[in-house]
Structure formats: C-alpha cells, structure tokens
Amino acid sequence: MKNYFLHILLFFVLISCASKKAIDPQDIEIDDIPENWANETPITINISDIWWNEFQDEKLNQFLSQFLNENINLEQAMLNTRIAKQASVISTSNLFPSIGISASAGESEQNSAGLPSIFTELFGGESGEITTFNQENYSLSLNTQWEIDLWGKMRQGRLAGKQQYLSAKYNYTYYQFSLTSEATKLYFSIIESKQLVKNAAQKYNNAKIIFDLYTSRYNKGIISLKALQQSELVFNIAKSDLENKKSISSSLVREGKVLIKEYPNLTLDTATEFPKSIPNIPTVLPADIVKRRPDLIASQYNLLASKALDRQAMRSLYPSFSLVGSTGTSSNIQDLLNDDFSVWSNGINLLAPVFNAGKLIANKKIAKTNKEIAMLEFINNLLKAYKEVESGLEFDQSAQLSLQLLKENIVLSKSIYDTTFEEFARGVGTIEEVLNANNALFDNKNMLASVERIRIERRINLILALGGGFTYKQ
C-alpha cells in the first residue's frame, strides 16, 4: 500500500515553511492516493442503503424501523435541516423586488392663533375669536423596492444559501447513518448481554452441582469443612456474577427503549444468537469510494458555500443601485378612491460605501478566513475518511481471525471440563481442577460472545467509513 499519508504531511510542512501567508485553497492538492485497497478481481459493486438487511434479522429490522421513525435526536436534526432550507429561501428572495402595501389615517386640528384656545384666554383674548380648522387625511399606497444585482452580490448569496442547505441535508444524512449504526451496535450489545447472562446461569448451575455434591460428601464425612466452604464460596461468586450480568442486560434494554421512545417499557424483542450473515464488503475497494460519504459531500458543499460568501463579501464593497417606486392615493376618506387624488413616485437610489470604520473590509477578511478554514476541514475530513477505511479493514480481518480461534478454544475447553468433571465425580480429580476447567470454559464462552459483537461492530464501522453497504456479484 502506498504511503500517501507521509507525502501529504510532507506537502503541508513544506507549505508552512515556505511562506507565512494564508493557504490558498486552489494550491492544495492530494497526491499518491491509492487506486484500491486490494488485489483486482472482476466484480460489480452495487450500493445498498439499507445495509442492515444483510444481517437477515427481522427483529433487528423492526427495531431500526421504529428507531428511524421515533428517535428524538433524528427529529431534532430534521428540524435543523428545515431551518437551513428556509434560510436558503430567504437568500433567494433577495434577488426579487420587495412589494408592500401601506395605509395610514390621521386627524389634525389647527386654529388661526396658532395656540390652543386655553392659552389665548389666559392672554385676555376670547375663545370665540379663534377659528379652528379640522383636517382628516387618509392614504393608501403600493410600494416597491428592488436592488439591482449589478455585481452579482445577491446571486452569490443565493448560491451560498443553497449550498449551505445541501450541506445541512447531507450532514443530516450522515448523522442518521451514524445514529443508525450506533443503534445497530446497541442491538447486538443486547444480544451479547443475553448470552453473557445465559453463560453466567450455566456457570451458576455447574457451581451449584459441585456445591451440592460436596455438601453430600461432607455430610458423609468424606471431605473436610474447608473443602465445603471453598465450593460454597465459588457458588456464591457465580450467583453474584449472574445477578450483575442481568442488571447490565436490563440497562442496555432500557437504553434501547429510550432510542425508540418506548421507555419505561422494558420488553425488547431481540434475537438470542448472533446472525450468521453479516453485510458484505467487496473484494476490491476503489479508494475514491469514500467520495460517496455524506459527511464528505456535506463538507464539500460547505466549502463551496464559503467560497460564494467570500465573493459576496468582496462585492459588498461596490456601490449598490436600487429602484424604488410607489403609487396610491392621499385624501379624506370620501375621496380615497378618487383618481384625482392619486399620488405616485419613482426613482433610483445609489449607495456607495465611503466610511464605515472598516466594517466591510473586516467582513471580507472574515469571509476569506472562513473559506480557508472550510478548505482545511474538507482536507482533514478526507484524510480521516481514508484512515478510517484502512483501519477498519485491518480490524475487520483481525476480528475474523480471533473469532475462529475462540471457537476452537471453546471446543477444547468443553472437552477438558467434561473430562475433569467426570474424574471429579468419581473422586479422582480435585475441586481445584474442576473449578479451573469450569472457569476456563465460560471465560472462553464469554469471550466468544464479546468477539462476535466486536466483529459485527467493526464491520458496521467499516460500512460507516465507506459511506454505505454493498451488494455485488462475482
């Protein structure tokens, strides 16, 4: 496998040493990406979005169906996506004229003295000498304003809004993908916990058999009190371990019920055994398969949005032109709809920034910095994606090997325990031998359950790193 990570790291080091200027996103390139991660074989890769169907577990399908419909975190993420969509609508609306209707009504009073009558009387005048005028005025008008997008500032805002919405949409898709993966892992953790409870119950039963047998022998005077107490100690430890594993299993079930919004109902129907079938991974994995990952697509849209906002900030330094106009009537209420009292106006406004204490320049610098940050985030996310894929492939292979070895160990441990217990029952073997064999057997069984769960989790992590599941034909 090509050591492309070293080349990329060296590339960034050389850039940082050569100049202290900000990184130009156009200058960043990623070279030496491998074409694939395996030997080439003739296959056709088909994308599978509902990858959990590959487990062939109807109870899992039902659990995830409820999860996708009822999970509160997913509902909140969906609402955030709707907010981003409306923000895109707002940015688009700036391209079009704004039209509004205004209406007003007012009444005024004026006298010939220019003062209220009470003040006139104070100065020796008579109130009857003053002529009072009452006037009512009503107006109804249609107003419009339209900023001409001469420099493309509004278009860049609309483009940025749309790309931000798409980024939020793909972020939601990845968030849903990630949470579904975690819910699937939890489902298999519950299966593991049930198997651990089953193993603890069998271990408890074996310890009880040994304790009952030693009790019988002690009553007959064959063994000492110390031997009986030792078997009772093992019996009590096995009972305590069983209760602890039951509590852990109940806790996992509670967590699962919260995910599907059914708490405090603690009945969750799951399989008792791990699936024989797990999602397939193609023999050949092209390196650019990670491009379909929703989080990388979201990061790319975020980068494009930051570039559009940078261009918009630059265009904000240019003069803006707006067409304004209004039409309507202004008169008393009787003549409000009379054409003789109509009024109208139209014109053009020019606004050129002259002095604003550096606000527009600061906005431009912020937009440029945000663009550079978005580029670095995209590069970082891409590198992390390749790392996750390669690590996932290695972990997946090691889990398969561990599972095979543990299955062989359980066969050997079962044979050793049966032989040792038979010798112990005949009085040939010691209690230490049978207890050690019993512990070894169930330790291996517990490890098998854990490795089964780990193998599935690593396969799910690999699917998450690759952006989805696969169905393929040789």
Q: What is the 3-state secondary structure (H, E, C) of 201-237?
A: HHHHHHHHHHHHHHHHHHHCCCCCHHHHHHHHHHHHH
Per-residue model confidence (pLDDT) at position 114? 56
- Residue-wise pLDDT tens digits, 124-161: 555 555 566 677 777 888 889 888 888 888 999 999 99
Let me know whether 118 and 195 are in one domain.
Answer: no
465 lies in some domain: yes
SS3 394: helix
Per-residue model confidence (pLDDT) at position 112? 57
DSSP assignment letter at 22: P
Task: Name the residue with tokens 């749309």.
Answer: 162
Q: How far apart are CA 65 and CA 59, in angstroms?
A: 10
CA dist 244 → 121, 129, 180, 452 (Å): 98, 103, 28, 21
Per-residue model confidence (pLDDT) at position 311? 93
Let me know whether 113 and 131 are in one domain.
Answer: yes
Q: How far apart are CA 250 and CA 453, in angstroms?
A: 18
DSSP assignment letter at 36: B
Per-residue model confidence (pLDDT) at position 333? 64
| Nearest Cα to Cα of residue 210 among 192, 181, 235, 187 | 235
**How many helices (DSSP H) and strands (DSSP E) are in the chain?**
9, 6
- Boundary of a domain, candidates 352, 370, 402: 352
DSSP assignment letter at 316: T
Let me know whether 406 and 338 are in one domain.
Answer: no
Residue 317, exposed/middle/buried by CB under 10 A (0-12, 13-18, 19+)?
Answer: middle
277 lies in some domain: yes
Let me know whether 178 and 40 are in one domain.
Answer: yes
Contact 372, 23 (CB under 8 A): yes
Q: How far apart are CA 277 and CA 104, in angstroms?
A: 74
Let me know whether 199 and 294 are in one domain.
Answer: yes
Around Cβ 168, how many Cβ atoms within 10 Å? 22
Contact 41, 458 (CB under 8 A): no
Q: What mean pLDDT comes out for the span 241-268?
A: 90
Radius of gyration (C-alpha) of the chain in whole angstroms: 39
Q: What mean pLDDT comes out for the span 169-180?
A: 93
| Nearest Cα to Cα of residue 322 among 161, 91, 98 | 98
Let me know whether 157 and 143 are in one domain.
Answer: no
Contact 166, 74 (CB under 8 A): no
Contact 69, 281 (CB under 8 A): no
28 lies in some domain: no
**What CATH code is carried by the domain that includes residue 415?**
1.20.1600.10
25 lies in some domain: no
What is the pTM for the complete model shown? 0.76
**What CATH code is carried by the domain that includes residue 121?**
2.20.200.10
24 lies in some domain: no
Per-residue model confidence (pLDDT) at position 120? 56
Say which residue, 223 or 300, is predicted with more confidence.
300
Q: Give the range among 78-92, 371-385, 443-457, 458-472 with minimum mean pLDDT.
A: 458-472
H or E element, residue 137: strand 132-148
Let me know whether 263 and 133 are in one domain.
Answer: no
Task: Name the residue with tokens 């945000």.
Answer: 370
5 lies in some domain: no
Q: How confident is the model at residue 334 (pLDDT cuts 50, 70, 90)?
A: low
SS3 469: strand
Let me know whether 181 and 304 are in one domain.
Answer: yes
Per-residue model confidence (pLDDT) at position 364? 92
- Give 306-348 as a DSSP string: HHHHHHHHHHTTS-EEEEEEEEEEEE-STTTT-GGGEEEEEEE
Let me know whether 260 and 368 are in one domain.
Answer: yes
Average pLDDT taken over every residue of the chain: 81
Give the domain extent around 39. 34-95+152-317+357-469
Q: How far apart are CA 32 and CA 19, in angstroms?
A: 24
Give the pair of three-digit tokens for residue 225.
């009190």
233 lies in some domain: yes
Q: What mean pLDDT comes out for the span 360-382?
A: 93
Q: How far apart are CA 465 and CA 392, in angstroms?
A: 8
182 lies in some domain: yes
- In the chain, the number of structural domains is 2
Q: What mean pLDDT comes out for the span 195-221?
A: 89
Q: What mean pLDDT comes out for the span 375-382?
A: 92
CA dist 307 → 43, 366, 375 (Å): 39, 12, 9
Let me know whether 281 and 347 are in one domain.
Answer: no
The Cα angle at residue 233 between residues 229 and 239, in degrees rounded to 5: 140
Q: What mean pLDDT comes out for the span 71-92?
A: 90
